Amino acid sequence: MNEHIGKNINRIVESLDLPQDLFLGFPCISFTGNRELYISNHKGILSYDTEGIVILAKPFQIHIHGRGLIIETYSKDELLIKGYIHSMEFC
């Protein structure tokens, strides 16, 4: 039953062209070159070191790979990562 409701909500959000980050809980991700990465609507940090960060987001994890990575800003809603970002993948 819950899966059916979730599919209907997805269809409504898409058909009305509503922002998925607000209505479905998806993260909003923004890059400034390869030096800054801003993520809003995340669910927390799973692991962190200067070469890799794993962020929990709905419905996946975000893996950030780089060099000299630091978490400059962290709150329950926002995250700002700085350093040399080489790649990002969704798992």
CB 27 within 8 A of CB 21: yes
Long-range contacts of 46-53 (CB under 8 A, 24+ apart): 50/83, 53/81
Fold of 25-90: Immunoglobulin-like (2.60.40)
What mean pLDDT, rounded, does the chain reach?
87
**How is the chain split into domains, by residue range?**
25-90
| DSSP single-letter state for residue 51 | T
Strand partners, 57: 60
Residue 1 has pLDDT above 50, yes or no: no
Taking phi over 0 as left and psi of -120 to 50 as alpha, with beta for the rest, 44 belongs to left
Q: How confident is the model at residue 51 (pLDDT cuts 50, 70, 90)?
A: very high
